[in-house]
Amino acid sequence: MASLPHLPGATATPPTTNPSHSTRTIFAKPSHFITHAKRNNRLRISCTAQNQNDNASQNVETSKGKVDRRNMLLGIGGLYGATNLVSTHEASANPIQPPVLDKCGVATNLNTGELLDINCCPPTSDKIIDYKLPPVFRMKTRPSAHRVSPEYIFKYNMAIDRMKRLPKDDPRSFMQQANIHCAYCNGAYDQAGQGTLDLQVHNSWLFFPFHRWYLYFYERILGKLIGDPTFALPFWNWDNPKGMTIPPMYVDPKAAIYDSKRNQDHLPPAVIDLGMTGNTDPLQVVSNNLTIMYSEMIRANSSALDFMGQPYKEGTPVNPGPGSSERGSHTAVHVWVGDPREKSGENLGNFYSAGRDPLFYCHHGNVDRMWTLWQYFLPSSKVPDKKITDPDFLNAAFLFYDENAQLVRVTVKDALDNLKMGYDYERIDLPWLDYRPPPQTAVAKIKRTGTNVPKTETIFPLIVDKIVRVRVPKTKKGKADELLVLENITVDTTKFLKVDVFVNDEDDNVTELDKAAYAGTYAQVPHKTSNTSATTSIRLKLTDLYDDMDVADDDEIVVTLVPRHQGEGLTIGGIKIIENPPPPTPATPPSS
């Protein structure tokens, strides 16, 4: 078990009080430094009708007037002129519609047909109000979990302990809160009016806003239980070398925030492997981690959708396409912490059980922090496109129970600004911000790879269960602004799957990612869909990669696919290179 080496880490600066957009600044970064066992019998989750008496068509009274109850779970708001998110897709469809609340499914194990020990379905209520963000009188600051005081740890454990002591049918109780993730993420709901299409908040542009709202109410419930409205959840700072171990406060067996279902080989001082490469050198793992963060936050993205995830609208099948952050560090943390002794990697390693581990909310605190950093702290020169104005994104909505056990409807458009929601994050340096891989010193030419590398048209569709190399034609010679597209990626959703992508990589050591040849990744956390399979695609920006490698005179590149999972479960339909379309030109206002 590798421990974290002594490295030039980042220091924190005190959090600001009542910060505003104008005061969001990036603090100084350190300079660039060098620094699974196969799981069988995975649980498959399916749903059966919980209530055979379908009264879901009854109208109920809300602040919007009388509406059909099936329209409660995901409401539709008005068009919102967002100021902090640019769309490459203007909507002609509708936002995802709510499922029928009374037809929430009971999770079962498809391997045995037996019911699981939980029912993911929340309590129902006919009284639903449209949530309005309360005025912010005092900004809450979410702290780094590695830097919290003993007093904070005591307060945090007391809050979780009180949550666990609530009655089981209280929607604010620990298991009811954990079941939120199961219901929205493991197929307990179908899209209303869309046949058997699952409602799924992962692998699309709903990923960030749904989880932001989830943590928002979870945090407020904990604060209410201890009588402290200023209480803020911690975040696991796994993007910084000093935070690349499980935070110590979570490994005390006597603590309320402890969970026994974690990988025992990955307890502190083990360094988290965001690349899931299996490399045992802690210095190399840290360097890999920082390279991954730079790639998924900056290098691999050409548009807001590449980071946020692809559009998910009414009638869209699940898994339209995860954003770079979701399929990268987010997925790795889930699977790395999950317990291989359990059938499906419980708790954190599977969507249906992830919320049972208090570390889940700390992990997603940092996921949410990545969204905030991407929105406000990354220079526009590095990330020029940060907005999505599609009303089908802005008007998507969810239901949560607030700290008073009141069922409330919230929209994506109200979750775009964390400061308006009353919280900010402790300022921690971002060592990955300038961690661009060094240019490849040796000239990498296609001719050096040999003539035995097949062309794309000869091997696809391809089951990726071993390392594969393929020649892919460029759109033009020179350092063109191009995207590498992996299309028709069909996956078994019940498995952990991960494939890393390299370009013109002449180094056979695929456990090292801190090099110009590393282009990006696709990965998924095990979860359930109706047919236990889904199809998606991803895009990887090649502009910076071309700048760092000598490929200007080449007509082709060699793409290397490196699976980090074992066995089958992932098929790629094809690989191609396309020109990166220019960002949309802002409309010219009419002359007066």
Catalytic residues: 181, 202, 211, 330, 334, 351, 364
21 is known to lie in a ligand binding site = no
Cα distance between residue 112 and residue 115, in whole Å: 9
565 is known to lie in a ligand binding site = no
CB 334 within 8 Å of CB 164: no
Can you give 196-260 as a three-state secondary structure string? CCECCCCCCCCHHHHHHHHHHHHHHHHHHHCCCCCCCCCECCCCCHHHCCCCHHHHCCCCCCCCC
527 is known to lie in a ligand binding site = no
Cα distance between residue 131 and residue 402, in whole Å: 9
Cα distance between residue 584 and residue 175, in whole Å: 45
Coil, helix or strand for 497?
Answer: strand
Measure the N-to-C terminal CA separation of the chain; round to a whole number of Å: 69
Instruction: Give the tokens for residue 167.
Output: 């009655």
In sequence order, the 6+-apart residues with CB closer than 8 A to the CB of 230 are 138, 140, 223
CB 191 within 8 Å of CB 315: yes
Find residue 468's DSSP bridge partners: 561
364 is known to lie in a ligand binding site = yes
6 is known to lie in a ligand binding site = no
Beta strands in 110-162 (DSSP E): 128-130, 140-142
181 is known to lie in a ligand binding site = yes
Which residues are part of a known binding site?
181, 202, 211, 330, 334, 364
Which residues are part of a known binding site for Cu cation?
181, 202, 211, 330, 334, 364
